[in-house]
């Protein structure tokens, strides 16, 4: 509802969507709805994941979904896509047919970082994929400030209650508070 009201006030002009996820610790290790997640050589942690779809220009959160930590980003990222996605900027965790189909269903164009490319030094095979990924990183990095504000200013380093439903409620309330604060800043900048 809040995002819809922002659109009527023309705060957000839709050019694209930034999609990313962050890991949030559960209220207790006894929370059976959270999952264990580990990446490469990092220690596995018990957590939930918040997947966010934010506007590319204003960084206002338009859609989000919360899952257990062990669910792969590419399988659930479609829940974080708004109605009209536009160009969707995401990291390589969202590469795959499930997320691609979700983007296409919302008439969007995926712009996903390329990783794991092979090529020889000096022959130029990696130049084009690196340019592609660099251009996406320059736009996609804006979603990081959303997660930073949530964890630093709104206390979302740890869930307050047990269970997926309550975790989802907490993330939604945090996103509403963040959007209200960002929109106030944008409106005051326009007035000045």
| CATH code (residue 169) | 3.30.420
Measured N-to-C along each axis, helices 143-153 and 164-191 cross at an angle, to the nearest 10 degrees, of 110
**What is the domain count for the chain?**
1
Residue 170, domain member (yes or no): yes
Residue 16, domain member (yes or no): yes
- List of residues 6+ apart from 89 with CB closer than 8 A: 16, 17, 18, 19, 56, 111, 112, 136, 139, 140
Residue 92, domain member (yes or no): yes
Residue 173, domain member (yes or no): yes
pLDDT (tens place) for every residue of the chain, 192 residues total:
666 666 666 555 567 899 999 999 999 989 999 999 887 788 889 999 999 999 888 888 999 999 999 998 888 878 899 888 889 999 888 988 999 999 999 988 999 988 766 666 666 777 777 888 888 888 888 888 999 999 999 999 999 999 999 999 999 999 999 998 988 887 777 766
Residue 119, domain member (yes or no): no
Residue 192, domain member (yes or no): no
pLDDT value, residue 139: 87
pLDDT value, residue 123: 67
pLDDT value, residue 14: 63
Whole-model pTM over 0.75: yes
* Segments forming the whole domain that contains residue 176: 2-114+124-187
């Amino acid at each position: 509802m809040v995002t819809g009201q922002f659109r009527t006030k023309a705060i957000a002009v839709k050019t694209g969507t930034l999609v990313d996820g962050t890991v949030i610790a559960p209220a207790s290790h006894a929370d059976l709805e959270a999952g264990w997640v580990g990446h490469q050589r990092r220690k596995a942690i018990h957590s939930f994941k918040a997947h966010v779809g934010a506007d590319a220009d204003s960084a206002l959160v338009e859609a989000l979904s919360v899952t257990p930590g062990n669910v792969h980003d590419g399988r659930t990222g479609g829940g974080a896509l708004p109605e009209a996605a536009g160009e969707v900027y995401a990291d390589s965790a969202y590469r795959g047919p499930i997320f691609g189909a979700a983007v296409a269903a919302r008439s969007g164009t995926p712009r996903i970082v390329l990783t794991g490319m092979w090529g020889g030094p000096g022959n130029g095979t990696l130049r084009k994929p690196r340019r592609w990924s660099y251009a996406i990183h320059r736009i996609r990095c804006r979603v990081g400030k959303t997660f930073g504000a949530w964890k630093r200013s709104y206390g979302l380093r740890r869930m307050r209650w047990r269970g997926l439903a309550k975790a989802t409620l907490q993330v939604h309330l945090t996103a509403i508070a963040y959007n209200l604060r960002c929109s106030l800043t944008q409106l005051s900048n326009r007035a000045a």
